[in-house]
Amino acid sequence: MEKQERREAVSGGKENQLVSMAIVLFVIAIIAAVLTIALYSEQAGIALPIAIGVGIWGITVYILLTAAAEVIRLLKKMAGLKYDGKITQPGEKTIYICSKCGTEVSKNAKRCYECGEKLE
């Protein structure tokens, strides 16, 4: 009997590895920020800026790596390849605007905040 070759899609592409790495680095940044505050609690002038900087770094790295993962997904989709994960879609919201002056108002507003026009 002759053996046959068959190809199967494998999950866990680079896009998933990027997201996993983003989560790991974000958690490390949070732990480092908490440890910095705990270890240097007497020196608040030093600990707080370092902790904030580490936290911002963690958030930035997380955003960049998850964005890179989404770019990979989009490129794979455009090329007709299978990809893991989801591609985010733009959201939509309803806004309410005063018909007289164009100011954005809340859904339950009785009058325009800017011009005082009565709203229905």
Over residues 83-116, the pLDDT tens digits come to 888 888 877 888 888 888 988 898 888 888 889 8
Between the alpha carbon of residue 43 and those of residues 2, 30, 94, the distances in Å are 73, 19, 48
Q: What is the pLDDT of residues 18-57, one digit of tens each?
A: 888 999 999 999 998 888 888 887 876 788 888 888 889 9
Domain ranges of the chain: 14-78, 94-120
pTM of the model: 0.59
Residues 6+ apart with CB under 8 A from 2: none
